[in-house]
C-alpha cells in the first residue's frame, strides 16, 4: 500500500512515516529541503529495511511544485493514504504580525493541501477507496493570543477538511481532520519537556495509524488530541 506524507523530514510527518514504515507500507515522502529529506528517508530505511521509500523535495507553498509533486505521486500508482502535513508557523497577532504572514501561512498550510488533494482525490474516487488526513491544529478550533494568521490558516484547513469529507463520503474515500495540541516539534524548540508537559510526535502518529484500521463503513472524522494537562 502506498502512503503519501508531506512535511515528512521531521516532526509529526516523520513520526507518521516511521509508523507506517514499520507496517510495511511504501512511502512517498516530501519536504522542502532535499538533503534533510534524504537523510530522514535513509534513517527510516536503516530501521525498516523492508520498506520501500521514494522521495521528492518540493516547496508545496508553490502551486506549480505542489501539482508536480502530486503528479509524481500518481506516477507510482494511486495512493491509498494521503497525509497533508506540510505547513508553517509564524506567531503573532493579526494587527502586529509582519506583512505577508497570512499569505505565507495560507500557502503553506492550506493551498499545499488543496492542490495536492485536487490531483489525488479523483484517482481515489476512481478506485472507490482511500483515506485523506489533514493535519490541522487546536488552533483550528479556538482563537488564542498570538494565533493571528496561523490560526486563521488552520481554521481554513479545517473548513477544507469538512467540505472534502462531505464531497467524498459517497465515493468510499475517507477524510480525517487531525487537531493536535502542543507537540514537541521544532515549533517548541528549546522547550523543557522533562516533566512531559506537552505531547510527543508519536502520540499523534499512533492515532493516525489507528484511524486507518477501521472497516470500510467506518471513519474517524476528527481526531482532537491534547496534552493531559490541557493546552498551554
Catalytic residues: 150
Residues present in the chain in total: 232
In terms of Cα–Cα distance, which of 1, 187, 169, 170 is closest to 82? 1
Q: Chain-centre distance of CA 132, in angstroms? A: 9
Q: Tell me the backbone φ, ψ of residue 10, rounded to 5 degrees.
A: -160, 175
User: What is the C-alpha separation between 148 and 163, in angstroms, rounded?
Assistant: 23
Ramachandran angles phi, psi of 159, nearest 5°? -60, -40
Question: Cell numbers of 86, please?
Answer: 506540510
Amino acid at each position: 500500500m502506498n502512503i503519501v506524507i508531506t512535511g515528512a523530514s521531521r516532526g509529526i510527518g516523520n513520526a507518521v512515516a516511521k509508523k507506517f514504515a514499520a507496517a510495511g507500507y511504501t512511502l512517498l515522502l516530501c519536504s522542502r529541503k532535499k538533503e534533510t529529506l534524504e537523510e530522514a528517508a535513509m534513517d527510516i530505511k536503516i530501521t525498516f529495511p523492508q520498506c520501500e521509500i521514494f522521495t521528492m523535495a518540493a516547496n508545496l507553498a508553490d502551486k506549480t511544485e505542489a501539482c508536480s509533486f502530486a503528479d509524481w505521486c500518481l506516477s507510482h500508482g494511486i495512493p491509498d493514504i494521503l497525509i497533508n502535513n506540510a505547513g508553517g508557523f509564524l506567531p503573532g497577532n493579526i494587527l502586529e504580525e509582519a506583512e505577508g504572514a497570512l499569505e505565507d501561512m495560507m500557502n503553506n498550510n492550506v493551498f499545499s493541501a488543496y492542490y495536492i488533494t485536487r490531483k489525488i482525490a479523483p484517482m481515489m474516487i476512481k478506485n472507490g477507496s482511500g483515506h485523506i488526513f489533514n493535519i490541522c491544529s487546536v488552533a483550528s478550533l479556538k482563537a488564542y493570543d498570538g494565533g493571528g494568521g496561523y490560526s486563521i490558516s488552520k481554521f481554513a484547513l479545517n473548513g477544507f477538511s469538512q467540505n472534502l469529507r462531505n464531497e467524498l463520503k459517497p465515493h468510499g474515500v475517507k477524510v480525517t481532520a487531525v487537531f493536535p495540541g502542543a507537540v514537541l516539534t521544532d515549533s517548541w524548540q528549546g522547550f523543557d519537556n522533562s516533566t512531559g508537559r506537552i505531547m510527543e510526535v508519536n502520540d499523534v502518529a499512533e492515532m493516525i495509524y489507528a484511524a486507518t484500521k477501521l472497516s470500510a463503513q467506518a471513519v474517524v472524522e476528527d481526531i482532537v488530541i491534547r496534552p493531559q494537562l490541557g493546552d498551554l
